[in-house]
Structure 1
Amino acid sequence: MLILGLTGSIGMGKSTTSAMFQAEGVPVYDSDAAVHALYAFGGGAVGPVEAAFPGVVMNGAIDRAKLSAAVVGNSEALAKLEAIVHPLVGAHRIGFFEDAEAKGADIVVLDIPLLYETGGEKKVDKVVVVSAPADVQRARVLARPEMTSEKFEAILARQLPDAEKRARADFVIDTGQGLDHARQQVRDLLTLLRTSSAA
C-alpha cells in the first residue's frame, strides 16, 4: 500500500484536492479532522487536555479559542499539548491504515497541512504538494470571513515557503487553472503511480 503525503500552504486548494482523491476512491486521512474529533464532546483528548490546561473545556468539549490562548506563544505549553495530542492522532491513524488495508486499498493519502514543518515526509512514500500562483493564493485566503492581511502573513510566516515545498515534492498539483485541470492531474498521478507499481 503506497502512502502519499498531501500538503500545501494556506489557500492553495489542499482540501479541494484531498476531496478529489477521495472521489477517485482513495482513502484519505485528514489529520485536522482527527484533531477536531479528539477535541469534540466525548473525544479522547478532552480529559487529558483539561487536566493539563484547566479551564479549556466547555460543555464537555475543548474550547479551541481558550486552548489557543493557553498555548500560543508559549513553546513549553505547546510541547505539553503536542505530547498529549500526537500519540492520540497516531493511534487514530493506525486504525485508518488497518481499515484501508482490510478494504484492499493500493494507495492512501495522508492530508497533513504541516507535513514538512513536522518532519512528516519521512513517514510517507511520496509527497504531493498542492500549489497555485501567489496572487491566486492571496485572493482565495483574503476572501475568507474574518481573514485579514496581517493574519494571512502571520500564517505564511509559520509555513515553509511554497517554492521550497514544490522543490522538495515528488509531485505537484497545480490548482491555479481551475477544478477540471486539478482533477485531471489527480487522475493522471494515480494512473502513473499504479502503472509504475505494477511494472
Structure 2
Amino acid sequence: MRVLGLTGSIGMGKSTTARLFSEAGVPVYDADATVHKIYEGEAAPVIEAAFPGTTVDGKVDREKLSARVVHDAAAMTRLEQIVHPMLHAYRQAFLDRAERWGADVAVVDVPLLFETGGEKHVDAVVVVTTTPAIQRERILARDNMTDDKLTTILARQLPDAEKRSRADFVVDTSHGIDHVRGRIREILAEAAKMPRRRP
C-alpha cells in the first residue's frame, strides 16, 4: 500500500480534494476531524490541566484554546506535545485498517504536514493550491474570520510556493471540480507504481 500525504495552506481546497479522493474509493484519514474527536474525548482533561479554563462541559472550547495559544509559541509547542502522540496513534490505526482492507493507496489529510515533519511518514506528498486571490476570497468568506486571524494562520504555515516545490504531486483547484477529479485519477495511477519511501 502507498500512503499519500495530502496538504495545502488554508483556503486552497484541500477538504474538497480529500472528499474527491474518498469518492474515488481511497481511504482518507482526516487529521482535523480526529482533532475534533480527541478534543471531545481523551485530550480534553490533559489540555484543561495544561491550559485551565479552556474546556466547557468536558470538551475543549476551540475558541478559548486558540485565544490562549495562537500568539504564544511556547504554549503552541506544549499543545502539540499533548495532541500529536494521540493523533499519531489514530493515524497508525487507520493505516493498519486500510492495509487489512487491501487498499492500494491511502491518503492522510494533514494541514501542517511539512510543518510537523509528517512528510517523512508518507510515500509521496500531494499539495493542493490555488491563486492567492481565490485563496483569500475563500478564507474571508468563513464565519469568524478576520484579516488579523488570517495573517496569524498564514504565518504558521509554510508559504504555498515552498510546499509546491517540495511536493510529488500538485493539485490546482482554480479550474473546478472536474479538473481536480481528473488530476486525482492521474495521481492514483502514478502512486500505485511508486517505490515505498516511508520507514
Same-fold status (TM-score > 0.5): yes
Percent same amino acid among aligned pairs?
56
State the match for 1:9 in structure 2: 9
1:38 aligns with 2:38: yes
Structure 1, unpaired ranges of 5+ = none
Name the counterpart of 2:118. 120
Alignment equivalent of 1:165, drawn from 160, 163, 166: 163
What corresponds to 1:86 in structure 2? 84
Distance 1:119 1:102 in 2: 26
Offset, 1:51: 2.0
Superposed, which structure 2 residues align to 1:115-194 within 5 Å?
115-194=113-192
Q: After TM superposition, give the deviation of residue 13 of structure 1 in Å.
A: 0.3
Match of 2:24 in 1: 24
CA-based RMSD of the aligned residues comes to 1.5
How far apart, CA to CA, are the structure 1 residues paired with 2:194 and 2:91? 26
Hey, what's the Cα distance between the residues in 1 that align with 2:129 and 2:191? Answer: 20
Query: Is the alpha carbon distance of 1:67 and 1:131 closer, same or farther for their aligned partners in structure 2, counting shifts above 3 Å?
Result: same
Is the contact made by 2:29 and 2:94 (CA closer than 8 Å) also made in structure 1? yes
Displacement of 1:195 in angstroms is 4.8
For 1:22, the aligned partner's letter is S
Residue number in structure 1 paired with 2:93? 95
With normalisation by structure 2, the TM-score equals 0.91
In the TM superposition, residue 154 of structure 1 has moved relative to its aligned partner by 2.7
- Secondary structure of the residue that 2:175 maps to in structure 1? coil
Which residues of 2 match residues 56-95 of structure 1 at below 5 A? 56-95=54-93
**Aligned residues between the structures:** 195
Report the CA distance between 1:87 and its aligned residue. Answer: 1.0
2: CA distance, partners of 1:165 / 1:196: 20
Give the 3 Å change call, closer, same or farther, for CA 138–78 of structure 1 in structure 2.
closer
Amino acid aligned to 2:22: Q
- Give the Å deviation of 1:7: 0.5
| Alpha carbons of structure 1 residues 90 and 20: separation in structure 2 relative to 1, 3 Å | same
Task: Report SS of the residue matched to 1:114.
Answer: coil
Whole-Å separation in 1 of the counterparts to 2:119 and 2:171: 17
- Give the Cα–Cα distance (whole angstroms) in 1 for the partners of residues 168 and 135 of structure 2: 21
Q: Which TM-score applies when normalising by structure 1?
A: 0.91
Q: Is the 8 A contact 2:2 2:192 kept in 1?
A: no
CA distance in 2, matches of 1:166, 1:71: 28
Deviates more, 1:67-76 or 1:169-178: 67-76
Provide structure 2 residue ranges, at least 5 long, that are not aligned to the other structure: none
